[in-house]
């Protein structure tokens, strides 16, 4: 039996990158999935691909920076499939900036996308999950949550806040048998990471060749790696686990690279 048979999952930011990797694996494992993205054409393309492969998916346009979009996303999933079992809050904005050059506007935008959206989507999802005394919420965080690169000041702070939100919700929602866990993701090769390295940091098209030299396993994390961990938290294999944060990186957080 597939690990997510008879489950319904909503994944935000699922038009590419980590979200796409997660929603595709969930569909492979039997979940009926809602592919959400701000760019609906990307969501529709992923949903169509899943359906062509024998899965069940719908696309819903949602800019999670907008409260109404967050709530509509959750309600649309329940209206279409009749239930909601799994929510993965994937959307993240890794804006560059130190304490000296980050504007208040950028800070607010980063926290809006990285923390506020997870709060709103979770709040709306809980309304439906608690009726069935079942649910799994998975927040996608970052190893930057602990300290973070100086150039990712707002991003790091937002992921630290998300980690606290995860544990706070877990401590309350166990009364409804709703679990809340977090994946703190390390350096992952996604289309957006490639864009940032090439077009923002000017590293050149072959930046990956140099990057992997610093990795013990000779490669960066891939969306499929993150999806496998998300699948564990989404399935009943982790039935009694809540409030956990799984660090996903090739070095323990805080350890010098060449210990």
User: What is the length of the chain?
Assistant: 259
Q: Are the C-beta atoms of 85 and 8 separated by less than 8 Å?
A: yes
Determine the Cα–Cα distance for residues 29 and 237; give it in Å rounded to an integer.
Answer: 13
DSSP 78: H
Active site residue 134: no
What sign does the CA torsion over 245, 250, 254, 259 have?
A: positive
CB-facing half-sphere around the CA of 83: CA atoms within 13 A: 15
Q: Are the C-beta atoms of 58 and 34 separated by less than 8 Å?
A: yes
Secondary structure class of 140 (helix, strand, coil) = strand
Residue 27: how many CB atoms within 10 A of its CB? 26
Which residue in 93, 134, 146, 155 is the catalytic one? 155
**Catalytic residue numbers, as ranges:** 155
């Amino acid at each position: 039996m597939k690990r997510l048979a008879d489950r319904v999952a909503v994944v935000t930011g699922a038009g590419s990158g980590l979200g796409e990797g997660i929603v595709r694996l969930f569909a492979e494992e039997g979940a009926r999935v809602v592919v959400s993205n701000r760019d609906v054409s990307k969501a529709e393309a992923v949903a169509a691909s899943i359906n062509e492969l024998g899965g069940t998916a719908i696309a819903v346009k949602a800019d999670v920076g907008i409260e109404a979009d967050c709530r509509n996303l959750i309600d649309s999933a329940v209206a279409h499939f009749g239930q909601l079992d799994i929510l993965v809050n994937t959307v993240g904005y890794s804006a560059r900036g130190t304490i000296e050059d980050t504007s208040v506007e950028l800070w607010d935008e980063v926290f809006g996308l990285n923390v506020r959206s997870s709060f709103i989507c979770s709040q709306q999802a809980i309304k439906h999950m608690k009726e069935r005394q079942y649910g799994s919420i998975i927040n996608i965080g970052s190893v930057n949550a602990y300290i973070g690169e100086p150039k990712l000041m707002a991003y790091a702070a937002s992921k630290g806040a998300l980690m606290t939100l995860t544990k706070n919700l877990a401590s309350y929602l166990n009364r409804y048998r709703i679990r809340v866990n977090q994946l703190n993701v390390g350096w992952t090769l996604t289309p957006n990471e490639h864009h940032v390295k090439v077009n923002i940091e000017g590293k050149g098209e072959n930046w990956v060749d140099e990057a992997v030299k610093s990795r013990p396993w000779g490669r960066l994390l891939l969306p499929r790696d993150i999806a496998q961990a998300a699948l564990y938290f989404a399935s009943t294999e982790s039935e009694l686990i809540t409030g956990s944060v799984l660090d996903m990186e090739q070095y323990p957080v805080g350890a010098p690279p060449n210990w």
